[in-house]
Amino acid sequence: MIEKRLAYIVVVLSMVVAGCGYRLSGGGPLPGSVTRVAVAMFENRSFETGAEAVFTSALMTELVRSSDARVVDRGEADAVILSTIRSITIGELTRTADDAVVERRVSAVLDLDMVGKDGETIWSVRNFSESEVYTVSSENASDEAAKREAVQEIADRVAERIISKMRDNF
């Protein structure tokens, strides 16, 4: 229940920031001369509850931080970024001699599209992936917190890499 409330708060704050056209100093133009962009909530096809809010918030934050575009409501935007979390998987990475899991790797695969007002795709990437390793804890709460932190790290790195590629018109 707390996770749902936190995700809701993140989404609401992100929308408020987006609605205000909030902007810090940027780092470069987006493809297609987009100066105002909306970010739709990520579609989450993974089993990680709340990942859509984490990835959406990270992308909005990076847009504000590293681009010349303003993040605005969809109705005011030159383009909208539509994204899908295709999967988030967790695999065992290392084990001890007695077969206890020591580290896990979290991996995420995403698709992203920037679509103009006319419905034409301005920029797109498929199967964009990132991963993070975390140390396993014997306590469920600590292990879950470490996994959530790993997902946040992935979201932050994905956002940074995506905006960099958009600015480079990759």
pLDDT range class, residue 99, cuts 50, 70, 90: confident
How much is the pLDDT for 132? Answer: 97
- Identity of the amino acid at 70: R
Q: Tell me: the pLDDT tens digits for 42-94?
A: 999 999 999 999 999 999 999 999 999 999 999 999 999 999 999 999 999 99
How much is the pLDDT for 26? Answer: 52
How much is the pLDDT for 20? Answer: 46
How much is the pLDDT for 22? Answer: 44
Count how many domains the chain has: 1
Helix (H) or strand (E) holding 108: strand 101-116
pTM of the model: 0.82
How much is the pLDDT for 32? Answer: 85
How much is the pLDDT for 162? Answer: 95
Q: Is the dihedral of CA 59, 64, 69, 70 positive or negative?
A: positive
Q: Tell me: the pLDDT tens digits for 19-37?
A: 444 444 456 788 888 999 9
Q: Tell me: the pLDDT tens digits for 107-154?
A: 999 999 999 999 999 999 999 999 999 999 888 899 899 999 999 999
Per-position b or e across 105-125, b if 16+ CB within 10 A of its CB: ebebbbbbbbbbeeeeebbeb
| 3-state SS, residue 70 | strand
Range of the domain at 70: 2-167
Q: Which residue has the higher pLDDT, 151 or 96?
A: 151
Distance CA(45)–CA(55), nearest Å, equals 13
CATH code of the domain covering residue 101? 3.30.160.150
pLDDT(8) > 80 = no
Distance CA(119)–CA(80), nearest Å, equals 10
Query: DSSP labels for 40-71?
Result: PPPEE-SS-TTHHHHHHHHHHHHHHHH-SPEE
Residue 122 has which token pair? 């301005």
pLDDT exceeding 90 applies to what percent of the chain?
A: 68
